[in-house]
Amino acid sequence: MRFFVTGASGWVGSAVVPELIDAGHQVAGLARSDASAAALTGAGAEAVRGTVDDLDVLRDAAAASDGVIHLAFKHDIAFSGDFRGAAEADRRAVDTFGDALAGTGRPLVIASGFAGLGAGRAATERDMPVIDDSPPSVRAATAQAALALASRGVRPSVVRLPICHGEGDNGFLATLVGIARAKGVSGYVGDGTNRWSAVHRLDAARLFRLAAEKTPAGSVLHGVAEEGVALRDIAEEIGRRLGVSAVSVAPADAAEHFSWLSGFLAHDAAASHALTGELLDWRPTGPTLLEDLGKGYYDEAPAAA
């Protein structure tokens, strides 16, 4: 099969592309720069020049493929204050893919998160987010709209991703390490018992391939290996690696200490992958989050902006 992948040179996408190729598929990846295009061609994929705002490019590439895996998201503007704008661009891209794939029965797999799901227990694939007027809800609504494309003859599925870790990570964990380095302490919010679910990026890549190949229309999948890792445990491991103390940051001071990351750190985001494992026989095998922290991959993470 030939798959069109957005975000193909990104943190998760750069693992999804070789996963697809090694399984015998052809890949065309969206590339917004010369460097991204070179990385894709070097990995054995075709580079399609454009961005998620180039809707004609997205439409044509999707129509020429046997399925779409949509991983791109405007993290640059999302985490500099315009999450809503990033989420709205994401919705336009998904709507475009829906139009291109309508009536074909082809797969559309999109990445999403756990925003809006209830706290206090491990969320399951059957839990649906509360949709309100908050910026994260805009992205959650996009996931709901993608699933509704089943009624238009598309085979949609949503992969909810937790913290994806591994060598080369420049995302949440790297930012948290950078903040600890800049502040001289490794912080957690309150008592630090709130949990983050986690997965190694190679396990996540395998799940995206399985979803594109055989997931039934309308499936919600959890790319979760660890149900929940306490934020205090994460902060303490970072502190050990950097040689700084792990300290509690009062919720009222979290925004000043953690900047944009504060909105995520106080939430409990534990989740299960039991139904996903049963459906696709997906069994994560990669290192745990704390194991990856202990390997030193994050020790030289840049200080947070």
- Which element (helix H / strand E) includes 227? strand 226-230
Q: How many helices (H) and strands (E) does the chain have?
A: 13, 12
Contact 246, 186 (CB under 8 A): yes
Contact 220, 160 (CB under 8 A): yes
The SS3 of residue 196 is strand
Residues in the chain: 305
Q: What angle do CA 297, 259, 291 make, to 5 degrees?
A: 20
CA distances from 238 to 129, 175, 185, 233, 248 (A): 31, 11, 9, 9, 14
- Rounded distance between C-alpha atoms, residue 91 and residue 21, angstroms: 28
- Rounded distance between C-alpha atoms, residue 303 and residue 292, angstroms: 19
269 CA to centre of own chain = 14
What does each of the 305 residues of the chain score in pLDDT, given as a tens digit? Answer: 999 999 999 999 999 999 999 999 999 999 999 999 999 999 999 999 999 999 999 999 999 999 999 999 988 887 777 888 888 999 999 999 999 999 999 999 999 988 777 656 899 999 988 888 777 788 889 999 999 999 999 999 999 999 999 998 888 899 899 999 999 999 999 999 999 999 999 999 999 999 999 999 999 999 999 999 999 999 999 999 999 999 999 999 999 999 888 878 878 889 999 999 999 999 999 999 999 999 988 887 554 44
- Rounded distance between C-alpha atoms, residue 162 and residue 86, angstroms: 18
Q: At what angle do helices 201-214 and 13-22 cross, to 10 degrees?
A: 50
pTM, full prediction: 0.94
